[in-house]
Every structure is written in structure tokens, then in C-alpha cells.
A and B are shown apart, each in its own frame.
Chain A
Amino acid sequence: MNEPVSSTRTRKRPRWAIRLLAVIAIFGPGLIAANAGNDAGGILTYASAGSQFAYRTLFLMVLITVALIVVQEMCSRLGTFTGEGLGGLIREQFSARSTFIALLFLLVANAGLTVSEFAGVGAAMDIFGVSPKVSIPIAAAFVWGLTVFGSYSRAERIFLVLTLAFLAYPIAAFLSRPGGGEVVKNLVWPHFLATSSFLVLTVALIGTTITPYMQFYVASAVVDKGVKPADYPKERVDTVSGSIWSDVISIFIIIATAAAIGGSGALQSAKEAAQALEPVVGRFAPQLFAFGLLGASLLAASVVPLSTSYAIADATGSPRSITTKFRDAPLFYSIFTLQILVGAAVALAPGNLVALAVNAQVLNGIITPLLLAYVLILASRATVLGPAKNGPRFQIVATVSVAVVGVLAFVVLILTVAGKG
């Protein structure tokens, strides 16, 4: 938590320094929330995009970034101006049935995400020669125990340090000399393919970038941070820049992977994805990738189920805190435990772990527009936000973003049901 700049300080700073400090002080929730998209599922999905379609998804990522900014800004504004999380707002503003449906969507989406986190653990440890059958149950017990017995915050810092391994991607993207012209062409002009596999990956990219978990997180985080409506212009800077920064990293992952193994088809293993880091660390690329993937997976394997438990307990008015005992917050802990169990069990099923992680993002992509509809309605209600509700132009952009994501998700759902996805 940042300390507010005291107004009683006697030593005067230059005006530009005060402004800079004010901006830095507010950085946080938006940046962290948007970067949460770069979890295990995200890394594997972006790497898969580079491997399967080389640079063709880059323009799509630019469009997704616009949608991400719009969505995160609405959630951040809702948290700032109401002082409540999305779960509570949905309970207050919608009927019991609509609330239940929203919570169910969140539960399913986050359960899918949890599966991909444990798949990430399995894939990472596989690089070190540890079977997923061993690593996944141990990771599940480790994460559950750390969270329930209250020593998670220290471990969280270690996981965060491990994820710094992914900062190697931007360096790798430059060192691999991808051909600037090709990259720029794909960034500014669409090179889409009219195939079902491209469409499915499009929805997976949407699902992993604009994930419902991030929307619930950013709204709660600005409340926890005590961001005041008067500070919102600075908070908006954080949200927008966080979204852009997060997607710049994602784009570098796609570029680095495309330069290394672009066009070689769907990603089969985490080792393949690690080849993208070879220009930076040579033969140690698999190990560096595995450390990063393990950190990202363990970090999100706890945070994602926890965020579901918080949102559902908040909406149902049940006790919610990791500092309370199990018997005092049974719903909160039951939902958390169930997600860990189901996530680990599904990740243990035989099959390709990378494909499983990507498929979980497709599920997220299908559910995301349904939850976005709730956010859109909340942010456009004067009874919720008063004068801070969506303006007419913003409302058009937000509605178009949600509608496009919804149509894509619907088409993929139809293709999947028809067995063509």
C-alpha cells in the first residue's frame, strides 16, 4: 500500500516532481490486474499463437488491447466510485437469478483458469523431468496449505520473482531478428485466416487477455487501495497503461515464439515454447522458461480460486477472509478447496497439458462476454455511477467491444458443439 504524500511537508519539491510522484503513487491495481492475464494459461496461449500462426494474430492483439482498456476502465471506475466489488454490485443491482447466473459463470471461468494453472505446473516441472502425476498433486496441496494456513503472502513474493523470467521475452523478440517489416505489417493490418482453428485461437486469446478474474480483481483492488473519486483521473492512467504494458509483453511473447518456431503448428509441449528464449540464454532456455511458468502458475493457482471465493462470499453476504477459521467461513473455504481439487484433478487427466491450458482459455473466452454484459450494464447505470456513468461515445465503443467478443464466442461455441472447433 502506498503512503499518501503528506501535505504538511516543509521541503518543497518542483511541481513536475510532485506530479510524477502522484502518478507513481497511484500505480498498482490496474497494472497488476492487467498483468494477471500473463499467467500460465496466457503464456502458453500466446506462445501457441506464435507457433501456430506466426505473426498473424498481432493485429488481433491490438484490437484486444483496445477492448481490454475499455473493460478494465469500466471495472476500475465502478470500484472507485461505488467503493464496492463487482460481486456485491451485481447482487445489489440485479435479480437473485441474474446474480446466481453471473456467479456461476465466474465460478466456471475461474475453474477453467485454475485447470490451466495446474496444467502450467505440470508442463513446467515436466521440463525438469518430474512427472505431472507427481508435481500437480504436490502443487495443489502446497498452494492449499499455504493459503489456508496463512503464510501465502511470503510465498507470493517468491512466485512473483520467478515470473520475472518472462521479461526475457522482449529481449528474445529483438535478438531473434524477426524481420521488422513483417512484424509491423501484421501489427497495423489484419492478416486473419478464415479457418476454425484461427477462430478458436482468437477466442482463446480474448479469454486469456480479457479474463473475468481480472475484472473482479481490479474493482476490488481499487477499493482496497482506497482510491477516491477525486483521484480517478490518475487511476485511469494506471488502468490504461497497465493494460497496454500487459499486452505489449503478450505481443513480444507471440513475436519471439513466431520467430523461433512460427508456422510449425500447434504447440505440443512447454519445451517447444521455451525455444523462443534461446537467443537470450541459449541452452538454458527450457530451464528459464520452466522457472517462469512455475512461478506464474503457482501465483495464479492460489489467487484465482481465492478471487472466486471472495466474489461469491461477498455476493451472498457470507464471511470471507483467509484469516478466519474454516468453520466460521464454510462457504468461502469450500469454494476455494473445491476449485483446487477440481483444477488439479482435471489437469491430471491424460493428454497434452499445453492443449488443455489453451482449451481452458477458450472456455474463458466463451464466458467472458456474458460477464462483460453485467459490467456494461452496471457502468451505464446512473443509479450506480451517477455522473461517472459511461458517456454516449464510450458506451458505443464498449457495446461494440462486448458485442464483437460475444459474437466470436458464440460462433466458436457453435463450431465446438458441431464438432468442428
Chain B
Amino acid sequence: MLRQFLAGELISVANLVGAPLVDRAGRRVGRVNDIVVRWEAGIEYPPVTHVLVRAGRTFALIGAADVELTQARVCLRADRELVARPVRRPGDVALVRDVLDHQLVDVAGVQVVRAADVYLVRRGEVWELAGIDVSVRAFFRRLLHRRRHCPVPRRAIAWADVQHFSGSRHDDAFARGPADGAGVVGSSLQARAPRSSLRRLRAAEVASLLQELGRDQGAQAVSLVNPETAAEALRSLNDAQRVALLAQLNNADRERLESLMAGSS
């Protein structure tokens, strides 16, 4: 898949953010603020479902079918009103808010990484989330001016090998400001994700990841692996780390893991 995604038509999300949104006449009506994909059961490379744009102080969600994505700009296919008050739905992953610059797990390499760039690949009429670039060069590239062409990924990891975590527990809406108070249909929390590549890992590997992950991410990782693996991984942590992670879980999960740890010790 990695070879395929590098060979396809790519868009760098880090370069797309801030790009103009233009109407059919080529007039600028806003700027790209985020790209939303839908993560559902059985889908390894989630499709882009919406583009979050900012027009003045207003945030709006536009369906992916209503726009044409290019690296330099996003064009509206039809003249339409921008619908304000964007809300998240279950399974929505906002690539800038939830993935770019956040802690992720490279499951194949068994290491905690940060995405310096996120890549979309075209599959016919649909853009899909292909993978991430974790190179330091990709981070430094973002300090320079925005590029009109997609830069080449340096240390690419296919999305099928990435485990991402929900955004901040305190950030349920896509946008603050005028969109504040919007009804939140669902949160981005993926703690009960349809598929977790972390399940491939052994307890010792999970334990090494837990030592590097932040508290929220670590707790989510614990809830994403098999309970037996999680219990074994937690047992190999020091007391303070184990207690801090368990404290993040709900009562039922915590009690189950504690009984598993007690049972096999």
C-alpha cells in the first residue's frame, strides 16, 4: 500500500490548510481549515467526507462531493450557501485537529510518532487518507511558505499501520468562536474504535508504547488492545505509571483489568 500511495496523486494536508476556497467564478470565499474523514469498521483508508472552511469568522462544513480538491486550492462545484455551526459525528476524524502534530503509534515500527504531514490519495472520484509523514524535514518544510505542489513524503507510514487517538477530551466541537454552542452530535473519541491495529502488538510492545504516550493517549491505547494484553502490559509498568493510567479508565474497565492483573500474578 505504501508504494501505491506514493505513486498516486497526493495532497499534503499541511500544505492544504490555509489554501483558498474559491467559487465557480474563481472568487475567494474562504480558507481551508481542516479535512474530515469518516473512520468506520472495515475501512483501512478512510474517505474524505467534508472540508471544514473558514469564511470570515464563520466555520462551515462542505461535503466532499461538493468540492474539487487540489493542492493549491479547493473549488466549489456549485454556488451554495456555506452552512455554519459544524458539528462532529461519531467516526469523524479531523486531520488537523486530531492527527497532524499529535502523538500516534506506528504499529509496524512499534514506536510513538508525531505526524508532521498527512497525505490524501485520489481513488477515482474519492480522496482517501493514505498515510502520514513523520520526518523532521516535513516539519521544517512547514516553516516555509505554502507549496502549490505536493511535497514528496520522506518517512511515510501507511494509515493502515497507524493508530491514532481522539483529540482533546475537552474539544468536542470542530470550531470555537461563532460555532460555539453548536450541538455536538457525537465526539471524536475512538476509544471503542471499529478496528485497532494495536491488537497486533505483544504486551511488551504495548508497555514500551505506554511509557511514551501522553496520559489520554495511553489510556485509549489500553482500551484498544485485548484486556489480557493490556493487563500484562500494565503489570510491567512502574506503580505510579500504572495507577495513573488506570485512573483514566471507567470503573468497569479498571476493575476488569485489576482483576486480570491480580489473577495472573
Contact = CB atoms under 8 A, between A and B. Distances in A.
A270 B183 CA distance: 65
Contacts of A190: none
Interface of B is mostly: mixed
Interface string B221-265: 000000000000000001111111101000000000000000000
Given A82-B216, A83-B218, A331-B136, A383 B239 contact: no
Contact of A82 (B113, B136, B214): B214
B23 interface: no
A268 B17 CA distance: 55
Contacts of A316: 114, 116, 136, 139
Interface string A316-330: 111100000000000
Contacts of A225: 240
Nearest to B17: A95
Interface in B114-137: 114-116, 134, 136
A91 B170 contact: no
A223 B170 CA distance: 19
Contacts of A32: none
Contact of A92 (B102, B116, B170, B243): B102
Nearest to A230: B247
A84 B238 contact: no
A37 B259 CA distance: 44
A1 interface: yes
A379 interface: no
**Size class of B's contact patch?**
35 or more
A91 B114 contact: yes
Given A83-B214, A84-B214, A226 B244 contact: yes
Interface string A180-219: 0000000000000000000000000000000000000000
A18 interface: no
Interface in A371-421: 382-386
Interface of A is mostly: helix
A227 B215 CA distance: 10
Contacts of B215: 82-84, 223
A283 interface: no
B101 A319 contact: no
A100 to B, nearest CB: 5
B77 interface: no
B200 interface: no
B169 A386 contact: yes
B136 A318 contact: yes
Interface string B27-53: 000000000000000000000000000
B218 A3 contact: no
Contacts of B116: 316-317
A319 B241 CA distance: 20
A97 interface: yes
A88 interface: yes
A228 interface: yes
B134 A317 contact: yes
Nearest to A321: B212
Select the residue from A3, A83, A99 with max chain B CB neighbours within 10 A. Answer: A83
B103 A88 contact: yes
Interface of B: 14, 101-103, 111-116, 134, 136, 139-140, 142-143, 168-171, 176, 214-218, 238-245, 247
Lowest 8 CB-CB distances: which A-B pairs, in order?
A: A83-B215, A317-B114, A226-B240, A226-B244, A96-B142, A84-B214, A386-B170, A383-B171
Given A228-B247, A386-B169, 13 more contacts: A1-B240, A83-B218, A84-B214, A91-B114, A97-B142, A226-B240, A226-B241, A227-B244, A229-B247, A317-B116, A317-B134, A319-B111, A384-B170
